[in-house]
Amino acid sequence: MKEIYTGELNEQYERHGYGHLQNYYEKYSYTGQFINYYPRGQGFHTRNSGVYEGTFEPNGIIRGKCSYPNGDQYEGEFEYFVPHGRGVKQHSKDGSTWEGEWKRGQKNGQGTISLADGSKQKGKWRNDIPIGIHKYFNKSNCLMGTTDFGNIKTKVPSKKSVKKK
């Protein structure tokens, strides 16, 4: 048996309304709203990667919270069960947080890292790597310094594309 569904059905006997789905093959469960067979609306989803609570579409959670097995917490936008869009992730191991833009589970865009001692680093990231100029603030929010990480790639016109007069 691959899965068991308990809940409301529509006239075509599809999952529709409130229900609980236990999938033994893919090892996940979902409790919440279904529309025409698919999870859609508010719900809870438990899988190996974490416990998700929020708004679901057929491809997974799109906005909500996740508690990860290592104790980390994330709240914000998702795509295919990974942070994607704006969100905040709190790391349980060191108490730091990242608030900013995500792309496929990586820091990507403007954001702020806040450390447990109250200090902050503000700047831009691409694929989890800091780029450009980052500013560092103490817990009183006083600027303590800057670092230029460089590696911002800009297009430089090639010699062929520059027209001579």
- Residue 45: inside a domain, yes or no? yes
- Residue 7: inside a domain, yes or no? yes
- Residue 90: inside a domain, yes or no? no
Tokens of 154: 């800009």
pLDDT at 153: 56
In terms of residue numbers, what domain contains 24?
A: 1-62
Let me know: does 19 contact 29? Beta carbons within 8 Å.
no
Q: Give the total number of structural domains in the chain.
A: 1
* pLDDT single digits (tens) 52-95: 999 999 989 999 999 999 999 999 999 999 999 999 999 999 99
* pLDDT single digits (tens) 24-41: 999 999 999 999 999 999
- Residue 33: inside a domain, yes or no? yes
Close Cβ partners of 102 (under 8 Å, ≥ 6 residues apart): 76, 77, 82, 83, 84, 85, 86, 87, 108, 109
- Residue 31: inside a domain, yes or no? yes
* pLDDT single digits (tens) 106-165: 999 999 999 999 999 999 999 999 999 999 999 999 999 999 998 655 444 555 544 554
Let me know: does 29 contact 20? Beta carbons within 8 Å.
yes
pLDDT at 150: 82
- Residue 111: inside a domain, yes or no? no
Q: Kindly tell me the sign of the dihedral angle through the C-alpha atoms of 26, 32, 37, 41.
A: negative
Q: Is the pLDDT of residue 9 over 80?
A: yes
Tokens of 102: 């995500």
Tokens of 83: 């942070």
- Residue 15: inside a domain, yes or no? yes
What is the C-alpha separation between 87 and 23, in angstroms, rounded?
A: 28
- Residue 140: inside a domain, yes or no? no
